[in-house]
Amino acid sequence: MKQPQKPFDPVALSLSLAEAVCKNSGMKYTVFCRSGPHGGISTGYSAGCCLRCIFCWADQSRDDPEKFGRFYSPEEALGELLKYANPKGVKRLRLSGGEPTACRDHLFGLLDAMQGTDSILTLETNGILLGADEEYVKRLSKFNQFHVRVSVKAGTAAGFQRITGAHGEFYQLPFNAVSSLIKYKMSFHVASMTDTRIMPADEKSALAKKLAETGYRDFLEEETCIPQPDTIRRLKEAGFTVFSEEWIA
């Protein structure tokens, strides 16, 4: 997968991403595991993303997905998710890591395969592809046992470009995704890296205003930057002066 020149078109990059991580109805995953308190959540981590966020914790599979992971069919992926869920009676499943909306056929196939189980799937997404195509959201709305977590990166074009590396003109897409999720009455919530070391107060205010304009009235999950090795490396490359003791979450 050729690395984009910044600033880049994230929708166009998603096409290159799909070539690397999608095959028929299969999608590339790097790992499946269970984590978290109260029995945890069973998670499949997808390879590759169409953004280059400076605070991203994902490993090199984000930028070079063709070199990592392997393809799983929807049935195989569900089997892995249930394998890590069932020993503890966990009903919560999750797709995270890169950008799992890149492989539409796989996602629809996985949701189809889930019918008849008592599990709930959370899809973690940056909202770029959902915001670029309302029909994608409409089709997803036909499924139950499904929740979407949309990670909104910034409230302004300049902030979006600084944080994601993508061209600022695309900053509206995650907000479009929020509007579509509201329109089709889907279960979802919004998250954002509002850590003051990453996001200035005026950017956070702009983000809150943009969310209000979509009609979103639910809670905002505010993230704190976790000092994973790849996060520290990316922040340094972006010009942050980072000392480990200052970035203990």
Question: pLDDT tens, 116-170?
Answer: 898 999 999 999 999 999 999 999 999 999 999 999 999 999 999 999 999 999 9
Query: By C-alpha distance, which of 90, 91, 108, 101 is closest to 125?
Result: 101
Query: By C-alpha distance, which of 52, 53, 35 is closest to 44?
Result: 35
Cα separation, 218 vs 65, in Å, equals 34
CA-to-CA dists, residue 158 to 50, 57, 100, 150, 155, angstroms? 18, 22, 26, 20, 9
pLDDT for the residue numbered 249: 39
pLDDT for the residue numbered 91: 87
- pLDDT tens digits along 26-75: 999 999 999 876 678 999 999 999 999 999 999 999 999 999 999 999 99
State the pTM of this model.
0.94
CA-to-CA dists, residue 15 to 111, 148, 222, angstroms? 22, 22, 30
Quickly state the pLDDT bin for 248 (edges 50, 70, 90). Answer: very low
Q: What does the pLDDT average to over 223-233?
A: 90
